[in-house]
Amino acid sequence: MSLICQVQIILNNLSKEKEENVKKALEPDNVNFPEGLSLYVENIDNKLVFNFESKEGMKKIIGTIDEVLEHVQVALKVIE
C-alpha cells in the first residue's frame, strides 16, 4: 500500500496582477518536477491556490512546499 500526501495552500487577497506574476515566476520550477511529486497552481476569486501531491512520502512534499513558498516570497518582494 502506498501513501499519497495532498496539501493545499491558499494565499488570500492578492491582486490579479500579483497572482499572475507569482504564477509566471514559478513556471520554470514546474519543468522537470521530481517524479512522484506534482504541483498545480490555480486562481480562484482573489486567491492563489497551490495543490501539492506526493506519492513519495511526507519528507519530499515538505521540502518541496518549503522551496516553492520561498520562491513565492521572493516573487512577492520583487513585485512590490
Interstrand relation of 5-11 and 47-54 (parallel, antiparallel or unpaired): antiparallel
pLDDT tens for each residue of the chain, 80 residues long: 578 899 999 999 888 888 888 988 887 766 677 788 999 999 888 899 999 999 987 888 898 899 999 999 999 999 87
**Domains of the chain by range and CATH?**
5-79 (3.30.310.50)
pTM above 0.75, yes or no: yes
- What pLDDT, on the 0 to 100 scale, is given for residue 3? 83
Structural Rg of the chain based on CA atoms? 13
- What pLDDT, on the 0 to 100 scale, is given for residue 15? 87
For the four alpha carbons of 59, 27, 8 and 55, in that order, the dihedral sign comes to: negative
> CA angle 19-44-56, nearest 5°?
85
19 three-state secondary structure? helix
